[in-house]
Amino acid sequence: MSEMPPQWFDTKLQAATTTDAEGPSSVKPDEVRTMKTFLDNQTTAIKAAESLTKRTSTAANLSDVYESLSALWTFLTDLAIDMPSSQPKLIELLKAIQNLPDVELPGGEGADYISLEQGELWKELPQWGNIWADTFNSVEASFTKPVDSTTESVRNGQMWAAITAFSARLAAEDAAQLNGGGFLLSQGYRGIVRALEQEGVDLNSEIPAAAQWFIHSGPKLYNHGRTIRHDEPSGNGNGLWFKDGYGKPLSGLWKGEGGLNKGRWLFWKERFTWVRENMELGEEARRAAKDAVEAMTKVEKEG
């Protein structure tokens, strides 16, 4: 996964100083500087958390709380996608934010239509899950949509791999506010099945993304999969990508039953192995497949 150029923060800082960025829904210059300082290891996660949440914690009304929350979470999602190397630090930051003292929510504007409850700031990370899920779905939609521009196609692939990596990292966490209560893993099966079971897909762009689930959340994926029965209805989020509406296995390279069982896990591993050894595919796809195989082998040994 490629990184954004070092000018990324300069661009964000410039945008934050414009007149259009004066409202509560926009990230502020001091917040951009705080984030850069944190990622440069020049301040601690707790100090960065306190600084980045100050505007929300001291907001005069509920509408400003909501808008400033949206600005903060959007800032974090932009970073996770544009700078994948920042992802471990961003999870550290989210944990620090979650451990901040409770904040008493104000009333005023927004109280009659914004659903935030006392005690949710900060332990529940309100709105974070919704914003991340919306971003994930938007990036996936762009990735799977045919485009004429090679540059756009490459960028969509990079964004898809990056957002998948962060989702996989979040899914590996124990806190439900971070892992989505298992929802993130359920989302992951969609990309895994498309990359490893469907024919005619671009493996050079699909494999680097699908591999992230095994690299970053292999144990969770392995153990979670054992709870998915072959006869689960499509209405169940866990089984959605294994069965169609009539209870039949999805078409594709996998010819076994639905659900996730040892045979299907090993089939995925065989597919990654094939990609790893296929010299006609790009280096990034082969390297990602290699890492996925190693991660799966480790999970199998550790049980």
Average pLDDT for runs of 10 along the chain of length 303: 73 84 80 96 98 96 94 96 96 98 91 87 94 95 93 95 97 94 84 90 96 96 69 46 48 76 90 98 98 97 86
The pLDDT of residue 249 is 53
The pLDDT of residue 238 is 47
The pLDDT of residue 231 is 54
Contact 31, 75 (CB under 8 A): yes
The pLDDT of residue 245 is 40
The pLDDT of residue 227 is 59
The pLDDT of residue 240 is 43
The pTM assigned to this predicted structure is: 0.91
The pLDDT of residue 242 is 53
